[in-house]
């Protein structure tokens, strides 16, 4: 047992020596990102490393949670938000190093169980009796957009729960506890466990995703490289593959 651990340790040290022999260690940056960005950002990590030699460490959570943490003095290099409101409040607090840039857009969709057993076709169907609807809490961007979308459609729903994270909506639909929920298109694409029912443009809300370098960034240059890569053709195509729209 001990021998095996020693051996494993030795191999690790050896591997570190080999990989470290040619280049200096990569620059590491911390990226605070909205929960919905998990899949595209994880896919961006590898090409980012090979292009810029920058290793990104992600902290995914609800935009409002991350904003609250940054307001309380949390240290990070980049912030990618799911709405402009939270980004603006950080800018007003003087916590950004530059102007925020919109790097992606996302629209809303109704998430239903695979195969759509309740036959949901539109937002109006969410008001049908016997349909269990779960929404994001209005304090979360996805929840605020959902309310805007429902009021555009003139529909009043009585949600069974107001989830503090959009992922909570998604998991409750995926587990079959809720019949429908309003989430982002990217959530439907990346989850793969729910079906999406499109919401017409006239009733939809397009969410802007702004990104910015933070004032307390350890490495502003590397942080900027992350944003540049995200806006590049390669970065944008990764975002499109995961259900987002180009900026």
Q: Which is nearer to other proteins, 141 or 235 (CB)?
A: 141
Q: Which is nearer to other proteins, 89 or 122 (CB)?
A: 89
Cβ atoms of 112 and 180 closer than 8 Å? yes
- Give the C-alpha separation, 80 to 110, whole Å: 24
Q: CB neighbours of 41 closer than 8 A, spacing ≥ 6?
A: 31, 33, 56, 58, 60, 80
185-216 in b/e form (b: 16+ CB < 10 A) is bbbbbbbeebbbbebeeebbbebbbbbbbbee
Stretch that binds other proteins, among 5-13, 30-38, 58-66, 149-157 (CB under 8 A): 58-66
Site for other proteins in 104-133 (CB under 8 A): 132
Task: Give the residue, chosen from 65, 106, 149, 190, that forms a contact with other proteins under the rule CB under 8 A.
Answer: 65
Stretch that binds other proteins, among 65-73, 196-204, 212-220, 224-232 (CB under 8 A): 65-73
Residue 26 DSSP code: P
Q: Which is nearer to other proteins, 61 or 124 (CB)?
A: 61
Q: Which is nearer to other proteins, 91 or 161 (CB)?
A: 161
CB of 148 to other proteins, least distance (A): 16
CB of 131 to other proteins, least distance (A): 12
The helix/strand count (H/E) of the chain reads as 9, 10
CB of 187 to other proteins, least distance (A): 18
CB of 125 to other proteins, least distance (A): 19
CB count, 10 Å around CB of 226? 24
Q: Which is nearer to other proteins, 40 or 168 (CB)?
A: 168
List C-alpha distances in Å: 9 to 2, 13, 15.
Answer: 10, 6, 10
| Strand intervals (E) in 161-205 | 161-163, 180-184, 194-198
Considering the rule CB under 8 A, would residue 83 count as an interface residue with other proteins?
A: no
CB of 206 to other proteins, least distance (A): 22
What's the half-sphere exposure (Cβ side, CA atoms, 13 Å) at 170?
22
Cβ atoms of 34 and 81 closer than 8 Å? yes
Site for other proteins in 129-188 (CB under 8 A): 132, 134, 137, 139-140, 159-164, 168, 172, 175-177
Applying CB under 8 A, the site for other proteins has a residue count of: 21
DSSP helix/strand/coil, 103? strand
CB of 86 to other proteins, least distance (A): 9
Q: Which residues are near other proteins by CB under 8 A?
A: 62, 64-65, 67-68, 132, 134, 137, 139-140, 159-164, 168, 172, 175-177
């Amino acid at each position: 047992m001990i021998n095996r651990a020693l051996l494993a340790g030795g191999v690790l040290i050896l591997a570190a020596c080999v990989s470290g022999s040619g280049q200096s260690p990569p620059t590491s940056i911390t990226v605070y990102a909205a929960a919905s960005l998990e899949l595209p950002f994880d896919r961006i990590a590898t090409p980012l490393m090979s292009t810029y030699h920058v290793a990104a460490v992600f902290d995914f959570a609800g935009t409002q949670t991350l904003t609250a943490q940054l307001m309380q003095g949390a240290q990070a290099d980049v912030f990618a938000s799911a709405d402009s409101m939270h980004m603006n409040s950080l800018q007003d607090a003087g916590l950004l190093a530059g102007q925020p840039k919109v790097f992606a857009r996302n629209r809303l969709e109704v998430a239903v169980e695979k195969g759509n057993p309740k036959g949901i076709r539109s937002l109006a169907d969410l008001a049908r009796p016997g349909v269990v609807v779960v929404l994001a809490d209005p304090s979360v961007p996805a929840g605020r957009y959902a309310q805007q979308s429902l009021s555009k459609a003139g529909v009043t729903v009585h949600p069974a729960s107001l989830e503090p994270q959009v992922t909570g909506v998604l998991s409750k639909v995926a587990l079959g506890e809720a019949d429908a929920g309003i989430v982002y298109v990217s959530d439907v694409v990346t989850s793969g466990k729910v079906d999406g029912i499109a919401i017409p443009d006239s009733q939809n809300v397009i969410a802007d995703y702004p990104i910015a370098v933070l004032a307390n960034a350890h490495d502003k240059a590397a942080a900027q490289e992350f944003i540049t890569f995200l806006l590049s053709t390669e970065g944008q195509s990764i975002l499109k593959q995961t259900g987002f729209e180009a900026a």
